[in-house]
Structure 1
Amino acid sequence: MKFGILVNEGPYNHQAADTAYQFAKAAIDKGHEIHRVFFYHDGVNNASKLTEPPADDRNIVNRWSKMAEEHGVDLVVCVAAALRRGIVNENLASGFRISGLGQLVESGIQADRLVTFGD
């Protein structure tokens, strides 16, 4: 099965981003495909390379970057939501790219299921 994922919450303000990552990882481990992960609203904060969690905490941003590198997962950040939060290409973590809402629509069309995490 091919999944599209929409993440609407930041990496540390709710469980949604971490749950989205765990869902994507489990899907890949079971042989499914992740068409795209689209980060919208506060979810765009998952793409900031300026995030510095404590050493004993999980680094959700690095987890997404590693997934993109190892499995070719397309990590797309909404341009309007990113700019509102001061996220530009210069401070994007590895594996993320900025684009428009058309990428979310395309993922909804191309994927068998579009799964949303967060409000």
Structure 2
Amino acid sequence: MKLTIQVNEGPYQHQASDSAYFFTKAALEKGHEIFRVFFYHDGVNNGTRLTTPPQDDRNVVSRWSELAAEHDLDLVICVAAAQRRGIVDDGEAERNKKDATNIAPGFRISGLGQLVEGGIQSDRLVVFGD
């Protein structure tokens, strides 16, 4: 089965990101294909490399980056939601005259059309968070 995952909540204020991560990992282990993971609303905060949790806490951002590297996942952050929350890659930094970037490895910024495409191309769109 081909799946697209939508994550609507940030990494530490709601269980949705953890649930999405463990669901995605389990689906891959069972042989399912993940077409895309789309981070929307506060979910874009899963893609900032500046997150630094305490050593005894889980690092949700690193988990996503490592899973993406291991399975060649397409982790897409919604551009409009990212701009509202200060998530910036090289292209957005240049376009908006920002002097730094903060996107985590394995993530990319793109438009809402990527979510629509994921819904069309996949057998299921699974949403985590409100």
Q: TM-score range by the shorter chain?
A: over 0.9
Unaligned ranges ≥5, structure 1: none
Code of the residue aligned with 2:122 in structure 1: it is A
Structure 1 residue ranges, 4+ long, deviating more than 2 angstroms after superposition: none
**TM-score normalised by length of structure 1:** 0.99
Are 2:97 and 1:112 equivalent residues in the alignment?
no
Which residue of 1 is the match for residue 30 of structure 2?
30
Count of matched residue positions in the alignment of Structure 1 and Structure 2? 119
CA distance in 1, matches of 2:67, 2:35: 13
Which residue of 2 is the match for residue 64 of structure 1?
64
CA radius of gyration, larger in:
2
Which residue of 1 is the match for residue 46 of structure 2?
46
**CA shift for structure 1 position 41:** 0.2
Which residue of 2 is the match for residue 7 of structure 1?
7
**TM-score normalised by length of structure 2:** 0.91
Q: Alpha carbon RMSD of aligned pairs, Å?
A: 0.4
Code of the residue aligned with 1:113 in structure 2: it is R
Give identity over the alignment, percent.
Answer: 73
Deviations 1:46-95 (A, max 9, x none): 00000001101111100100111010110000000000001101200000
